[in-house]
Amino acid sequence: MSHISSSAFSDTKAHYDLLDGLRGVAALMVIWYHIFEGYAFAGGSIIETFNHGYLAVDFFFILSGFVIGYAYDDRWGRNLTMKNFFKRRLIRLHPMVIMGAVLGAITFCLQGCVQWDGTHIALSMIMLSLLCTIFFIPAMPGAGYEVRGNGEMFPLNGPCWSLFFEYLGNILYALFIHRLSNKALAVLTILFAFALARWQTNRLIKPINELDLERPLDSDIYEELSPLLEAMDRQNREKEAVANMRKEFSANVSHELKTPLTSMVGYIELIKREELSDIVRDYVDVISERAEKLKEMINSLFNLAKASSGNVELHPEPFEVNRMIEQIFADMDDRIKESHLEFVTDLTKEDTQLISDNSYFYRICQNLIENALKYSAKGTRVFVKTKLLQSEGKEEVWLEVTNTSGYPMDFTKEDIIERFARGDKARTGDGNGLGLAIVSTYAKALGGEFDILIDCDQFKACLKFPKKTI
């Protein structure tokens, strides 16, 4: 062995006591982290209050880089060669590698030579793993000498991965880094920092973008977000429970009210057949009118609850949307004439045939016309338009109903679609707040889409259905 000058090993520079203190703190952080790491796997929460022990390893790397530069920068070309540098680092670092590997092999054998899943490992594989660790050969994924089965680089001495990268850092330093000027080193550091930040950002953002918000716990994402995902899942379950409760409540109330209300309407009709004074008959007519509206609202609520639950029995058949619009205008002719509104139709000449449930679609279109009748400003025009458009290579039938509101529209489309929500907050009209909620629910059940556009006093309800919906 060639002689290494003692001057190469001499400590001619003063120690920084502060650095020793910082390294001591970092070492305690790592020890603290690993002591309580087991509690985390067992479901304990102690580690969550001190879960950044791994950052201390990064801090060690930074300190090591500074110390190596401080100790060797001014020795290159004077009394230190690359060969002597590598020998010095081997003497300084490798005894810890060998000692850690030997201790790891001994303790693994004392534990029964089994992996975490209980698989027994042959002694020959343990010896091979020991040899690979001593010579700093990382275990490849699926390799037989990855004896603990944890996916570690050095299974007999897990923390040895940090020394492995310390070796790489020393090699890069000896080959070219020590030759760089301060300016070149600063530029290189900035470039590497930028690349690392970009890589880490993409690594962090990608799983978040791919997160399934409806089922957050099914997503494979880093454990730091587990509390957030659990909170999201809990909130989703609570929202679903509330929604189901509302649907069930609506259905039950509607069902329970239908029978007695039907009886009331029947008795009112019997009273009308009797001889009554004019005043009493007027009262009975008012009661009859209110009872019919209440019956209509209960039926609407019942149908809405049924559609929202997904228990909709559809009977698809072909029909023309334009012909259906004309039929609705004919059926509602008296109400339209009494409304003092001008209905303007612009029905496309193209084929608007759909294959869907005729009765449900009729109710959707009827509700849109009724909404315009109830909430349009008197003396204004209502525009009813159909058109055929291409979207993503598929034909879609569009229906638009545009009216001028008779009241301030200080609400969002989400507000107005909500059950029992009315744009007319003064409740001067005779609406019950279910019409557009029924439109939205029925449209979704038939495979279509419903949207609302609000522009000043203009209220536009938009329906679109693919040419083949069912």
Sequence-separated (6 or more) residues with CB below 8 Å from residue 95: none
Give me the mean pLDDT over the 419-446 stretch.
64
* 381: confidence class by pLDDT, cuts 50, 70, 90: very high
Lowest mean pLDDT among 249-258, 278-287, 403-412: 249-258
The residue behind tokens 């989703």 is: 236
Lowest mean pLDDT among 94-98, 145-149, 178-182: 145-149
Domains of the chain by range and CATH? 6-215 (no CATH), 224-308 (1.10.287.130), 316-466 (3.30.565.10)
* 329: confidence class by pLDDT, cuts 50, 70, 90: very high
Distance in angstroms (rounded) separating the CA atoms of residues 356 and 466? 10
How far separated are the first and last CA of the chain, in Å rounded?
86
Sequence-separated (6 or more) residues with CB below 8 Å from residue 228: none
Coil, strand, or helix at residue 212? coil
| Count of beta carbons in the 10 Å neighbourhood of residue 355 | 15
Sequence-separated (6 or more) residues with CB below 8 Å from residue 388: 348, 350, 351, 352, 395, 396, 397, 398
For 106-124, what is each residue's pLDDT tens digit? 988 888 888 777 788 888 8
**Tokens for 447?**
């495979």
DSSP at 225: G
* 342: confidence class by pLDDT, cuts 50, 70, 90: very high
Q: What is the 3-state secondary structure (H, E, C) of 13-58?
A: CCCCHHHHHHHHHHHHHHHHHHHHHHHHHCCCCHHHHCCCCHHHHH
Lowest mean pLDDT among 6-15, 52-61, 306-315, 351-360: 6-15
* 426: confidence class by pLDDT, cuts 50, 70, 90: very low
Give me the mean pLDDT over the 75-87 stretch.
85
**Tokens for 24?**
């001591």
> Is 317 a residue whose pLDDT tops 80?
yes
Please give the pLDDT value at position 254: 62
For 236-271, what is each residue's pLDDT tens digit? 888 777 767 766 666 666 666 667 777 777 878 888
Give me the mean pLDDT over the 438-450 stretch.
85
Which has the closest alpha carbon to 306: 420, 446, 442?
A: 442
DSSP H or E stretch at residue 463:
strand 458-466
**Cα atoms found within 13 Å of the Cα of residue 298, Cβ hemisphere only:** 17
DSSP at 77: T
Strand 342-346 and strand 381-391: the pairing is parallel
Please give the pLDDT value at position 252: 67
